[in-house]
């Protein structure tokens, strides 16, 4: 026999831990920002290169949250109910506006980052590059991407606020389901174009047909890892401890495991297609990333981003133990940053190809690594500050969601 449990948003008010975490994030961000300012003075170009890595990682947390939020509305499931407030805070208007501000330095430093911005159209061999890689269109497209992401997130948040006040109706839920389904398509298109603009175009003569999917999967993987850490952190405290069970960790662990495998599949598929084609203009991208120190990172990603997580997360028991699963989630987030570093930095510090001939290997030194760490901490610290600010403004659980009521009955039945 089930027991009906009546709760209100006030029963799941954010604990004081949210404010403490926000304070810690702000302190880290402030210190790292000082380091970022020093980086600008020391080496402006290297600063922009490392800023791009931090920007793409934090943007991935916001967009991955948006994708999972829309997926949860479309498909349902208790796993999504538990993560909804986290994803709504990550996709709030202030958070996305902050990421827009972080994008502006890339626009200002376009000529230092993107080689095509200093080239004439006739110098771009591929026709698609001639018409796509245009500084004005680059800026216009970026603004359109952010406007679409902010609009979709705002609409979902507005409906969630109505639900929080008890004003949602079955028909309004159907409308938000349809809106989310369309949003998933919009997300897929915009992140594909954005990843081409902001990362693939660092090598304007190179292209990949699975590039957008790689970024979509990477963003969702990072978001699952981040969500697991948050859930485990708050599940130790009231009121979330009333709801979370080992089965929920198991669900998130399985989803994170699935996206690890999907990332490996897409990465291997991209490499296999380019290896089989063996075309000069395609293989250069990989050659830049398997020379010298980059070969060590590439090999490390194979084992540390796939083989190790795959082997460990095969265990059913591990996925039901919060501490071990959180350790794996933190590891995943670290290797996601390393993966982005490997995608971006060899474009500037790998073997330079001039007229088909490989040049000398540019050094990967402590300064390069240090600037990347500083900028990831700076952007990530301010992102977390805004995230915890938004998280603390509402209840930690969507208590008026019908699925949440069933979840509570299962917990106490």
Please give the distance of CA 79 from its chain centroid, rounded to a whole number.
Answer: 19
Task: Work out the burial of residue 314: count CB atoms within 10 Å of its CB; fewer than 13 is exposed, 13-18 middle, 19 or more buried.
Answer: exposed
Q: What is the DSSP letter of 335?
A: H
Residue with tokens 């991955």: 64
pLDDT of residue 361: 47
pLDDT tens across 314-370, in order?
999 999 999 999 999 999 999 999 999 999 999 987 654 433 344 444 556 788 899
pLDDT of residue 63: 98
β-pair partners for 353 = 358
Find all residues with CB under 8 Å of 128, minimum gap 6, and list them: 207
Which tokens hold the place of 373? 């760490």
pLDDT of residue 358: 43
| 260: region left, alpha or beta (phi > 0 left; psi from -120 to 50 alpha) | alpha
Residue ranges for the chain with pLDDT beneath 50 = 1-3, 352-361, 411-413
Which tokens hold the place of 227? 């969500």
What is the residue extent of each domain of the chain? 12-412
pLDDT of residue 124: 61
pLDDT of residue 350: 60
pLDDT of residue 53: 97
pLDDT of residue 352: 47
Say how many C-beta atoms besides its own lie within 10 A of residue 41's C-beta: 8
């Amino acid at each position: 026999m089930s027991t009906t449990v009546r709760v209100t948003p006030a029963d799941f008010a954010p604990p004081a831990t949210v404010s403490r975490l926000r304070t810690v994030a702000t302190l880290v961000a402030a210190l790292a920002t000082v380091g970022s300012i020093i980086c600008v003075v020391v080496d402006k170009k290297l600063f922009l290169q490392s800023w791009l890595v931090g920007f793409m990682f934090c943007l991935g947390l916001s967009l991955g949250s948006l994708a999972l939020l829309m997926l949860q509305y479309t498909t349902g499931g208790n796993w999504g109910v538990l993560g909804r407030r986290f994803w709504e805070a990550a996709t709030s208007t202030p958070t996305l506006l902050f990421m827009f501000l972080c994008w502006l330095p890339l626009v200002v430093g376009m000529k230092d980052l993107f080689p095509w911005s200093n080239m004439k159209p006739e110098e771009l061999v591929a026709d698609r590059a001639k018409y796509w890689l245009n500084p004005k269109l680059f800026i216009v497209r970026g603004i359109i991407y952010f406007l679409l992401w902010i609009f979709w997130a705002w609409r979902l948040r507005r409906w969630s606020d109505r639900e929080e006040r008890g004003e949602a109706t079955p028909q309004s839920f159907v409308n938000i389901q349809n809106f989310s389904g369309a949003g998933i398509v919009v997300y897929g298109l915009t992140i594909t174009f954005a990843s081409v603009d902001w990362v693939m175009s660092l090598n304007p003569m190179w292209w990949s047909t699975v590039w957008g999917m790689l970024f979509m999967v990477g963003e969702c993987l990072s978001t699952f890892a981040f969500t697991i850490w948050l859930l485990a952190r708050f599940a130790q405290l009231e009121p979330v401890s009333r709801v979370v069970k080992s089965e929920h960790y198991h669900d998130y662990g399985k989803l994170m495991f699935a996206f690890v495998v999907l990332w490996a599949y897409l990465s291997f598929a991209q490499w296999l297609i380019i290896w089989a084609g063996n075309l000069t203009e395609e293989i250069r991208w990989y050659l830049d990333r398997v020379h010298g120190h980059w070969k060590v990172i590439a090999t490390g990603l194979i084992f540390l981003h796939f083989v190790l997580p795959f082997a460990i997360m095969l265990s059913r028991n591990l996925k039901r133990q919060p501490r071990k699963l959180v350790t794996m989630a933190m590891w995943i987030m670290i290797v996601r940053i390393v993966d982005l570093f490997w995608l971006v930095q060899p474009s500037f510090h790998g073997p330079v190809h001039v007229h088909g001939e490989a040049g000398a290997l540019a050094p990967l030194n402590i300064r390069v690594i240090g600037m990347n760490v500083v900028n990831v901490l700076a952007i990530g610290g301010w992102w977390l500050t805004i995230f915890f600010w938004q998280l603390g403004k509402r209840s930690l659980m969507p208590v008026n969601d019908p699925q949440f009521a069933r979840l509570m009955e299962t917990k106490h039945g």
